[in-house]
Amino acid sequence: MRMVDLIQRKRDGQTLSADEINFIINGYTDGIIPDYQMSAFAMAVYFKDMSDQERADLTMAMVESGEKIDLSNIFGIKVDKHSTGGVGDTTTLVLGPLVASVGVPVAKMSGRGLGHTGGTIDKLEAVPGFTVEITNEEFVKLVNQNKIAVIGQSGNLTPADKKLYALRDVTATVNTIPLIASSIMSKKIAAGADAIVLDVKTGAGAFMKNLDEAKELAQAMVDIGNNVNRKTMAVISDMSQPLGFAIGNALEVKEAIDTLKGEGPKDLEELCLTLGSYMVYLANKADTLEAARNMLEEVIRNGNALETFKTFLRAQGGDDSVVDDPSKLPQAQYKIELPAKEDGYVSSIVADSIGTAAMILGAGRATKESTIDLAVGLVLNKKIGDSVKKGDSLVTIHSNQEDVEQIKEKIYSAIQIESNKVKSPILIYDTITATT
C-alpha cells in the first residue's frame, strides 16, 4: 500500500477500506507517513467526505492507536457524557452525582485543559482536600462502591487523534464533520464508554454556530457510535447565552450544589434532567425516558442526589461540609456589581465574550502554564428575555483584583438590552437517535 495512492483515491471521491484506513492511521502515528501526506489526506476528506463505514473505521483506528481504559471490573453499563464546548457548562458536575444516585456507574476520567474556566478536575479541586490522584484500583473500587469517582487523565489515549488534531489546526481542516465526529468519538470509546450521551451545543458560544451544522455533527457521532456497538444519543442544546448563572470554578461548584438541591438555574436543571434521562435509559436502569426522568426528579426531591455528591467528595479526600455551607469554598476578595445602563429587556449575552471576561479574571487558562484562580468568575443576574431597570445588576464580578474596568467594558459590550420584549431562547432544539 502506498499513501499517495490512498490520497489520490480519496481526492477522487472513492471509498477506502478498513485496512486502508488502518494503514493511514498506524503509519501516521508511527511517524512513517509524513505530515505533508496526512495534510493532503485531511484536505481530501474535507472536500470529499467519508462514508458511514469509513467514519466508523477511522474512529476505531484512532481508538486502537494507543492505550485504552479497561472498565470491565466496574459493574453495569458505563455511560459517558460529552459536551461540545460551551461556556460555564456546569452539567458534568451535576450529572455525575445525579445519575449515580439511581445506580448508573459514573467512571469519569477528566482533564484540566484550556478554556474559559477550568476542566471538571479544576472545578472539583475548589473543594478543600479533594484529589483525583487515586490509583486505578481505588478508582474501580470507588465506582463499584459509590457509583461515582473521578480520576485524572493518564495513559496515552488516542495518540493518532492528538497528532491529527494538531495537524488539522494548522492546515485549515478542523472544520469537517467526519474528522470532528471521529475525533470526539474515538476519545470517548478509548476512555471505556459502553454507551454515550452527547450534548452538542449550538449558538454564538458554541463550536457549531448554526443549528443545521450542529444536527449534522450530532447525527454523524450518533451513527458512528451505533455502528461500533456503543449505543449513542445526542441532544442539541442552546449556547446562545451561557448555561446557568455561574462561570468560574468554585462558583460552578456552588451552582451544582444548588441544582442538586433543586434550587439551581432552571435551564441548567432542565438540560441535566434531559441528558441524565438518556444516561439512565442507556444504562438500562429505566425502560422509558419518562421513567428515567421521574427517577432523577425523585433523587433531587428526597436529597439522595446531594448525599451522593457528599459521599463522592469525602471518598476522594474532599471536605463535604462545603455542600451544606458553600461559603467554605474559595471566595473572591471583591464582589463588584455591573449596573444596567438603561431600562429594557436583555436580548443577547454573547457567551464567548462572557467566557473570555471570566478567563481574564483568572477563572481559566490562556496557556498550559497559566494557573487558575478557583475563586473568581462571573455570576449572571439576568438572562435573555429578562426585563431590567436602569441600575439593576446584570452581572456580579467575583474578582481578586480591585480594578476591573476593562472587564466591565468587555461584559457591557457582550450584553445587549432592547426596549422591546424579548423571548427567552429555546433550550433544547432537537434529539438525535440512530437512523434506522
- Which 240-259 positions form the footprint of Ca ion (CB under 5 A)? 244, 246
Question: Smallest distance, Å, CB 343 to Ca ion?
Answer: 27
**Among Ca ion, ligand URA, none, residue 110 binds (CB under 5-8 Å by kind):** none
The three three-digit cell numbers of residue 196, written as one number: 454515550
How many CB atoms sit inside 10 A of residue 179's CB?
Answer: 21
Catalytic residue among 39, 101, 182, 183: 183
First to last CA, the chain: 35
User: Number of residues in contact with Ca ion, rule: CB under 5 A?
Assistant: 4
Active-site residue, 209 included? no
Measured distance CA(24)–CA(344) in Å, rounded? 57
Q: Which is nearer to ligand URA, 220 or 411 (by Cβ)?
A: 220
244 and 86 in contact (C-beta within 8 Å)?
A: no
The one-character DSSP state at 320 is G
Number of residue whose CB is nearest Ca ion: 244
**Among ligand URA, Ca ion, none, residue 90 binds (CB under 5-8 Å by kind):** Ca ion
The three three-digit cell numbers of residue 175, written as one number: 472544520
Question: Smallest distance, Å, CB 398 to Ca ion?
Answer: 13
How many CB atoms sit inside 10 A of residue 382's CB?
Answer: 20
104 and 146 in contact (C-beta within 8 Å)?
A: no
Please list the residues that pair with 195 across neighbouring strands.
79, 231
Catalytic residue among 187, 215, 285, 310: 187
| Cβ-Cβ contacts under 8 Å for 374 (sequence gap 6 or more) | 118, 122, 125, 126, 249, 250, 330
From 59, 65, 110, 183, residue interacting with ligand URA (rule: CB under 6 A): 183
**Among ligand URA, Ca ion, none, residue 184 binds (CB under 5-8 Å by kind):** ligand URA
Question: Smallest distance, Å, CB 174 to ligand URA?
Answer: 6
Active-site residue, 161 included? yes
The one-character DSSP state at 235 is E
Measured distance CA(89)–CA(201) in Å, rounded? 10
Q: Which is nearer to Ca ion, 55 or 116 (by Cβ)?
A: 116
Question: Smallest distance, Å, CB 375 to ligand URA?
Answer: 29
Active-site residue, 183 included? yes
Q: Which is nearer to ligand URA, 56 or 184 (by Cβ)?
A: 184
Active-site residue, 277 included? no
Of 17-25, 214-222, 237-245, 364-372, the segment contacting Ca ion by CB under 5 A is 237-245
Residue 218: half-sphere exposure toward Cβ, Cα within 13 Å:
26
Report which secondary-structure segment, H or E, holds 201: strand 195-202
171 and 50 in contact (C-beta within 8 Å)?
A: no
What string marks each residue from 148 to 167 as x (binds ligand URA by CB under 6 A) or -? -----------------x--
From 58, 69, 180, 350, residue interacting with ligand URA (rule: CB under 6 A): 180
- The CA distances from residue 75 to 85, 103, 194, 275, in Å, are 30, 10, 12, 21
Q: Which is nearer to ligand URA, 121 or 206 (by Cβ)?
A: 206
Q: Which is nearer to ligand URA, 24 or 184 (by Cβ)?
A: 184
Of 116-124, 179-187, 240-248, 378-386, the segment contacting ligand URA by CB under 6 A is 179-187
Between the CA atoms of 407, 412, 415 and 421, what dihedral angle is there, to the nearest 10 degrees? 150
Strands 195-202 and 393-399: unpaired
Q: Which is nearer to ligand URA, 184 or 357 (by Cβ)?
A: 184
- Which 68-97 positions form the footprint of Ca ion (CB under 5 A)? 88, 90
Strands 79-83 and 195-202: parallel
147 and 104 in contact (C-beta within 8 Å)?
A: yes
From 40, 56, 184, 235, residue interacting with ligand URA (rule: CB under 6 A): 184
Check residue 226 for interaction with Ca ion (CB under 5 A).
no
**Among ligand URA, Ca ion, none, residue 165 binds (CB under 5-8 Å by kind):** ligand URA
- The CA distances from residue 283 to 76, 81, 108, in Å, are 7, 12, 15
Measured distance CA(195)–CA(375) in Å, rounded? 35
Active-site residue, 116 included? no
Check residue 179 for interaction with ligand URA (CB under 6 A).
yes
Question: Smallest distance, Å, CB 190 to ligand URA?
Answer: 12
Provide the annotated active-site residues: 82, 161, 168, 183, 187
By CB under 6 A, name the binding residues for ligand URA.
Answer: 165, 174, 179-180, 183-184
By CB under 5 A, name the binding residues for Ca ion.
Answer: 88, 90, 244, 246
